[in-house]
């Protein structure tokens, strides 16, 4: 199972960073940018994947900061 950190919108209108599968936020921020910076630091430290969500909760972007078990294939 791969480790993930998620940047997600929260009910108070801000943004939260949550560990994959967790119900409680690791930390909450007023802006998405602040949450992304913190989430990226955590993902790099844990060699995990950062999953950034849109305001509607859909995945916007992902970044892997460890040994990716599913690296992108070379398109030659």
Q: Report if residue 22 sits inside a domain.
A: yes
41: exposed, middle or buried (C-beta count within 10 Å: 0-12, 13-18, 19+)? middle
Number of domains observed in the structure of the chain: 1
Q: Report if residue 72 sits inside a domain.
A: no
Give residue 75's pLDDT.
53
Q: Give the whole-number percent of the chain exceeding pLDDT 90.
A: 79
Q: Report if residue 49 sits inside a domain.
A: yes
- The pLDDT tens digits of the residues spanning 4-22 come to 999 999 999 999 999 999 9
Q: Report if residue 58 sits inside a domain.
A: yes
Average pLDDT value for residue range 27-32: 97
Give residue 2's pLDDT.
75
Q: Report if residue 73 sits inside a domain.
A: no
Residue 11 belongs to domain spanning:
4-64
Give residue 66's pLDDT.
75
């Amino acid at each position: 199972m791969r480790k993930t950190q998620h940047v997600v919108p929260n009910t108070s209108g801000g943004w939260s960073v949550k560990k994959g599968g967790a119900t409680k936020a690791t930390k909450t921020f007023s802006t998405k940018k602040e949450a992304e910076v913190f989430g990226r630091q955590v993902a790099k430290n844990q060699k995990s994947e950062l999953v950034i969500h849109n305001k509607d909760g859909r995945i916007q972007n992902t970044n892997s900061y460890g040994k990716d078990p599913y690296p992108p294939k070379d398109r030659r």
